[in-house]
């Protein structure tokens, strides 16, 4: 079953000054949480008892999702609302036919927006030039067509990234934060990011979350796994020195958790039935030590301290996956139970991201079948069946074009057929 449909919100025009002034609750929660909660890395406690009252933000039944990224938008026709709608109708029809119930649509990939925003410029994906309006609202189209098919639409945000390379995005609009608040930005290689150590930058991200859930009938907000862009101490050395803290990793984890917590609270302030989730990396050590994502705190925090409604770790490895060292820790049959064994509050769901992009090309493991097991036509169906048998609450496929894009082949079609048959049995 898909999550219960909500009545669409009436889209409201909100001036920037009025909007920012009205965000005392969300921004206040951010700064309060940052100042009074000392978030430290903790060892997972043994067991937490589930809350007796179910969280209304969680869907009934298995969560079955797909990521639709800026790479999908890049090949779609934004020349008119009718042309874009035709592309989205085909996309949503495919998702519904596959037996999915949730679409994770990337609507802010580079500090820009695929929707009308008072805070971020229009994405270059719409017209080729960042800041130029397409003449219609793509997010309105996405929501309308998803809801017409009983699909939930969660708005997927990359919170910090403004540029990923010299060429992406190819143009930067005048109202991009690189121009309006360069003091919030940091450069890592060819990329430009908001500095996670600057509270004003994080608060602006939270304001953008609040804008989305107030103005659009999305069913939730979804963050990907990109938080700190580097582990280099120079990135936030000045802020760290001023903080008076002694442990850089713990302090950075606190910065990230403060942002995620404040975003969660902004979502719930708008509508408690909306969902907020994060898709961290599948390697817990990478989450803690390179992304500074304190997954243990996020999974165990509940009630007023809740940070997320769900996590969806990206478990993009196959069975028997082996590192060059010989370790099989990240083999699907090993890493999934590791995540499921982590202590978790009863109102926090745990889903798993699966690598549809591995189909036909393999996962790069040192094991002999690292490619062949992804060429069976049923690799994803085998993993989803395994997740069900282990009691996982759902899964998401990365990404849409790997199954339905222009390069779709017989193997992708076979994977879709196997998933469709399996999902039909569980609906």
- pLDDT (tens digit per residue) in 174-194: 999 999 999 999 999 999 999
Residues 6+ apart with CB under 8 A from 208: 108, 117, 119, 120, 157
Provide the 10 A C-beta neighbour count for residue 316.
Answer: 20
pLDDT of residue 424: 85
Residue-wise pLDDT for 217-253, tens only, equals: 999 999 999 999 999 999 999 999 999 999 999 999 9
CA atoms within 13 A on the CB side of 110: 27
Dist CA 422 CA 427 (whole Å)? 9
For residue 161, with 0-12 CB atoms within 10 Å meaning exposed, 13-18 middle and 19 or more buried, which class applies?
buried
Mean pLDDT for the chain overall:
90
Band (pLDDT 50/70/90 cuts) for residue 271 is very high
Percent of the chain scoring above 90 in pLDDT? 85
Q: For the full predicted model, state whether its pTM sits above 0.85.
A: yes
Q: Quick check: 389 pLDDT over 90?
A: yes
Residue-wise pLDDT for 412-421, tens only, equals: 999 999 999 9
Mean pLDDT of the 321-329 span: 98
pLDDT of residue 161: 97
């Amino acid at each position: 079953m898909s999550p219960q449909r909500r009545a669409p919100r009436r889209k409201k025009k909100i001036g920037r000054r009025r909007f920012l002034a009205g965000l005392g609750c969300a921004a206040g929660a951010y700064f309060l949480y940052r100042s009074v909660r000392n978030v430290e890395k903790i060892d997972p406690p043994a067991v937490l008892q589930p809350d007796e009252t179910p969280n209304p933000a969680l869907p009934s039944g298995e969560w079955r999702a797909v990521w639709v990224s800026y790479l999908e938008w890049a090949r779609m026709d934004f020349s008119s609302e009718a042309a874009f709608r035709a592309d989205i109708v085909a996309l949503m029809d495919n998702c519904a036919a596959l037996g999915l119930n949730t679409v994770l649509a990337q609507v802010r990939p580079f500090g820009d927006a695929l929707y009308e925003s008072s805070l971020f410029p229009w994405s270059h994906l719409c017209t080729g030039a960042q800041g130029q309006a397409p003449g219609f609202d793509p997010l309105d189209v996405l929501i309308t067509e998803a809801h017409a098919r009983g699909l939930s639409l969660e708005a997927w945000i990359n919170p910090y990234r403004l540029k990923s390379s010299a060429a992406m995005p190819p143009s930067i609009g005048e109202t991009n934060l690189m121009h309006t608040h360069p003091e919030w930005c940091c450069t890592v290689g060819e990329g430009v990011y908001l500095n996670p150590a600057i509270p004003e930058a994080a608060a602006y991200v939270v304001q953008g979350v609040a804008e989305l859930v107030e103005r659009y009938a999305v069913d939730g907000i979804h963050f990907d796994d990109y938080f700190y862009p580097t582990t280099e101490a120079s990135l936030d050395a000045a802020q760290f020195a001023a903080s008076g803290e002694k442990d850089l990793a713990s302090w950075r984890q606190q910065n990230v958790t403060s942002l995620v917590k404040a975003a969660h609270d902004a979502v719930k302030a708008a509508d408690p039935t909306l969902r907020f989730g994060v898709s961290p990396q599948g390697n817990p050590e990478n989450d803690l030590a390179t992304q500074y994502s304190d997954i243990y705190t996020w999974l165990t925090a509940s009630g007023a301290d809740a940070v997320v409604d769900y996590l969806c770790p990206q478990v993009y490895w196959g069975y028997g996956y082996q590192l060059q060292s010989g370790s099989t820790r990240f083999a699907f049959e090993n890493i999934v139970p590791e995540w499921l064994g982590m202590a978790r509050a009863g109102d926090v769901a745990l889903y798993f991201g699966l690598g549809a992009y591995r189909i036909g090309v393999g996962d790069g493991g040192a094991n002999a079948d690292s490619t062949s097991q992804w060429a069976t036509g049923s690799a994803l169906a085998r993993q989803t069946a395994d997740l069900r048998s282990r009691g996982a609450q759902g899964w998401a496929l990365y990404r849409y074009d790997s199954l339905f894009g222009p390069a779709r082949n017989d193997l992708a079609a076979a994977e879709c057929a196997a998933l469709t048959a399996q999902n039909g049995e569980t609906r």
